[in-house]
Amino acid sequence: MQKTCSTLTIAWCALCCAGSAAGSAQEQPRTTTDSDTETAIHAIIAHGNLSDSVFLAARISLQMRVEGDGSGDLRGLLIKAPDFALASGFAYSIRHNSRSPDDDIHLSLYFRQCPDEARLVHDWEMPLEHLQLGDGTGSVSRFTPHDANAIYFALIYHNTIGICEASFTQQVTAQPHPIRPDLDVRRKPELSLQLANAIGNIMQAGDLRNHQAVAAALGLPLRKAGFRETDGSAGRGQLLLEQTAPGIDAEFFSYAVQDTGWQTLYPFAPEPEILVNRNVAVHFPLDSQAVCIKPRDVSRALARAGVAAHMTQPGRNVLRWDRKNGNTLSLMATRKGACIEAFDLNQITDTAHALPETAIFRLPHGSTPALGAGDKALIERIVYRLRSEPHSNLDFIAQLPATAQPPEFERMDAWMAALREAFAQKGIPEDAMEFHLYPPAAADTPARVFLMALRGVNKCARSGNEEVENEENRKGESEGKGNMQGAGLPVTDPCR
């Protein structure tokens, strides 16, 4: 593989003609069917060369710019997704295999419509293998070609978000990749300004749960994926990019909403959920070849949108703007040189009742530990959150320094008893609290009790019938039956 490649641009005119990334109407994709998807799969595999990005642009309308990733390998930056695929989920790379003189090429796409596995098996006559994803959130159907140099193809069913992903991989002898200097990228100041204004408008809207406002600011349609709706909240799930827009790197874009306040740590295991703050996180990576947004552009955009946000610099190349309006909304900008390379928007919803990042009760001085005002306020916040799920458990960890003497252990026992009594007075049952005294830590560790987790009821075990149904679903998936062969998307398991 050629290590000196700077930029290979495929159909860059699609970017120039696409209009602004924010506030402009985007061309809507036509309705696609599983036959469109299958036709594209056939075309890619029959062509037999994943490195031919010119073919991908001409045959399946996948337009991308291939450029160095800074490590000597190449990656694709999406300009326009095919009609049958979302912009989110795209990934393209050409990486040199250090154990052989070959290049490993990989292409991933999120399909709008899952293909019919049965027809693919019939047409190709290739061995098909069914596997489970390692984290238990879906399954894989892998086709193995007869030719070792051919393209390997797999369908990955992400059950928790209702998406099927196509994964194409190929190993080829390393070779130079052509450069098209006539299609080099030119930065457009007006595009940088439009994206900065879009960020300002999102901050002005003041609530990232309102994904319609975010989509309107960007001029991009967003698709809900794996949302679990709940009463009185925006639910939880992801938002995916339907289409691409100039200036945004679709591969690394992410938008996660967690408005239920409950989080599953291990999707594949029927464990109780953990109580967390209601939050939203959006990651906007930028195409640094197409745009250069400077910190002053962001400050001016916020001012134009009427957002009063003070800028701070928590790191050498990190800038931050905060806004509070019942929620805490933070805008983080990571800078590379003079230009911003990514934005991160983070929201803590209902700040007044949010828990601190670490809920700590420090052991007070005195022979008889007593709760202070700060301790009581923290207890109020924890109890407020627990009211959303009356059958929750509190797990506490107690720590003492390595130099602790027997009297300090006695004081810690009294402190844990005082905390238990304080929660009991707020209506928390005794059997819903667990205190664990850990072995002494480092000498400088302060004596403290901190909240390890707030565990909710295991929702998958509330009904005997539900548990049986979920076990049947898992059994079906392990046998390769849970991936909904044919049109349509996998159904999300409500217990995951």
pLDDT tens profile 288-297: 888 999 999 9
Do 207 and 226 lie in one domain? The reply is yes
Q: How confident is the model at residue 461 (pLDDT cuts 50, 70, 90)?
A: very low
Considering only residues 2 and 392, tell me which one the structure prediction assigns the higher pLDDT.
Answer: 392
Q: How confident is the model at residue 167 (pLDDT cuts 50, 70, 90)?
A: very high
Do 392 and 245 lie in one domain? The reply is no
Cβ-based neighbour number of residue 29 at 10 Å = 17
> Amino acid identity, residue 437?
L
Residue 222, classified by CB atoms within 10 Å of its CB into exposed (0-12), middle (13-18) or buried (19+), is buried
Do 41 and 154 lie in one domain? The reply is yes
Structural domain range at position 391: 360-457
Q: Is the pLDDT of residue 178 over 90?
A: no
Q: Is the pLDDT of residue 481 over 80?
A: no
Q: How confident is the model at residue 265 (pLDDT cuts 50, 70, 90)?
A: low
Top-ranked range on mean pLDDT: pick from 141-150, 312-321, 459-468: 312-321
Do 370 and 318 lie in one domain? The reply is no
Could you tell me the CATH number of the domain that includes residue 450?
3.30.1330.60
CA distance 316 to 334: 9
Do 201 and 289 lie in one domain? The reply is yes
Q: pTM above 0.85?
A: no
CA distance 447 to 445: 7
Do 208 and 145 lie in one domain? The reply is no
Q: Is the pLDDT of residue 485 over 60?
A: no
Instruction: Tell whether 462 is covered by a domain.
Output: no
pLDDT, tens digit, 9 for 90 and up, residues 23-75: 333 434 444 455 788 889 989 998 999 988 889 999 999 999 888 766 778 88
**Domain total in the chain:** 3
CA distance 492 to 496: 8
pLDDT, tens digit, 9 for 90 and up, residues 370-395: 999 999 999 988 888 777 665 667 88
Residue 176's pLDDT is what? Answer: 59
| 309-313, 431-435, 460-464, 474-478: least confidently modelled range | 460-464
pLDDT, tens digit, 9 for 90 and up, residues 279-289: 999 999 999 88
CA distance 137 to 474: 10
Residue 116's pLDDT is what? Answer: 87
Instruction: Tell whether 331 is covered by a domain.
Output: yes
